[in-house]
Structure 1
Amino acid sequence: MKKKQNVIIKGTKEGLTLHLSDLCSYNELKEELFEKLTLHPNGYGDDHHISVRIQSDNRFLTESQEQEIKDLVEKKSNLVVEGFTSNVITKKEAKRWKEEGEIASIAAIIRSGQILEVPGDLLLVGDVNPGGIVRANGNIFIMGALKGIAHAGYQGNTNAVIVASSMTPSQLRIAKYMNRAPDYYDKEGQREMECAYIDESEQIVIDRLQVLRQLRPNITRFKGGR
């Protein structure tokens, strides 16, 4: 019966991919990897550096194990490990993903000098006064007046939006982009609920809330209505 391979080395346009089985012990895996690399004492291909990606499937590798495998592979002078991929994540990463996917619902007034920051979406029931700052890695929804600063998608999410019942901000930020409210806004007048988003020209645009359904169809799972 043919022995199952725990390490499979495949060539790609970008270099090499090492597939590491998750059905054997770590020591067995390391031994087989060493044996297969030894079959090519002069390295792989020519003298140019070859990029190596390592896929560990459902096996979780600790930082020290990743370093061991990296050192083993890079003993071949022309192999360079570019990174590891896996189907499993750490508890810390899972917690971060969970937080980023949640909506933080907060009832408060953000006054001058105060900063409110959340890892996911923010639903603020209250006002953001001049000098106050709200910041979210996702979208920002304000059921009240936005007169201070709102920064959505602060870690680089350019699809994030800012929504407010009264949109009269001192400054708007989405990802790395920044804008101020248009001069024609009547800060004392009552306006309909509006949204801010990044358009195709990479500018922050303020528009009616109704446009979000077409611009960001994934912002809600609600399927009804017209």
Structure 2
Amino acid sequence: MREHTQQNVAIKGTKDGLTLVLNDQCSYEELLAELKDKLASTPVEMDRSLLVDVRLKTNYRYLNEEQEEELKELVRKEKNLVVTAIDSDVVSVQKALQWHREQQIERLVKVVRSGQVIETPGDLLLIGDVNPGGTVKAGGSIYVMGALRGTAIAGASGRKDAVICASVMQPMQLRISEVVSRPPDTHQEEQTMECAFVDEGADQIRIDRLQILAQAKSKLMKLERGM
């Protein structure tokens, strides 16, 4: 009975180039040797004058910077291949800490005065006012339990699903991700808590009562669940 030899490198052709799936259970030296042999023996049926994009999928193998460069250099030496991306299921300590910070809600009790800037990587819950000339900025959403009369920047990390809520919504400027809005000149006489969010259909910021946002989110969740 023939002994089964585990394949440490699998080469898959895609419309964008090649994907090299690397086994994360073997030693790094074994992986390197097999990768070299596979690249030397596998024909690449493409225009030799063009570079072929290669994506490395390392699964749960951790690679340090030196090993990443060694793999890239090995691929570069073979034919007309160039590594454009390395996909890994390993989360570095730095990325894990960043993700943790972005999920946190920072709670502050203060008045943000003119010239002051409050910034947080996650959500911001401010109990107090934001005066004209003051700025609050968050990677996630912003909730102001008071009057928002300054500038609020939510979704600074690129999140268009972030929202800006305030008990009194009279801002100088609102921004969610890259979408910027200036408020209307007139305000409701009866102050109710309002919320600003990106209307995806129009790609602009919409301000409405908090209940409207809750209804919209509820409908979206039902659609996502197929209800």
| Native 8 Å contact 2:138 2:155 kept in 1 | yes
Matches within 5 A, 1:76-225: 76-185=78-187, 189-199=189-199, 200-217=201-218
Query: In 1, distance between residues paired with 2:173 and 2:143?
Result: 15
| Native 8 Å contact 1:162 1:196 kept in 2 | yes
Query: Could you say what the CA RMSD is over the residues aligned between the two structures, in angstroms?
Result: 1.8
The count of aligned residue pairs is 216
TM-score by length of structure 2 reads 0.90
Matches within 5 A, 1:62-77: 62-77=64-79
| Native 8 Å contact 1:166 1:190 kept in 2 | no
Query: In 2, distance between residues paired with 1:30 and 1:214?
Result: 55
Deviation per CA, 1:82-121, whole angstroms, max 9, x where unpaired? 1011111110000001111111111111111110001011
Query: In 1, distance between residues paired with 2:171 and 2:100?
Result: 30
SS at match of 1:74: helix
Query: In 1, distance between residues paired with 2:121 and 2:51?
Result: 39
Identical amino acids, percent of aligned pairs: 48
Query: In 2, distance between residues paired with 1:215 and 1:174?
Result: 17
CA 1:122–1:44 in structure 2 vs 1: closer, same or farther (change >3 Å)?
A: same
SS at match of 2:29: helix
Moved more, 69-78 or 210-219: 210-219
TM-score by length of structure 1 reads 0.90
| Native 8 Å contact 2:56 2:87 kept in 1 | yes
CA 1:14–1:214 in structure 2 vs 1: closer, same or farther (change >3 Å)?
A: farther
Structure 1 residue 219: Cα displacement: 11
Q: Which consecutive unaligned segments of at least 5 residues does structure 1 have?
A: 221-226
Query: In 2, distance between residues paired with 1:68 and 1:210?
Result: 56
Q: Which consecutive unaligned segments of at least 5 residues does structure 2 have?
A: 222-227
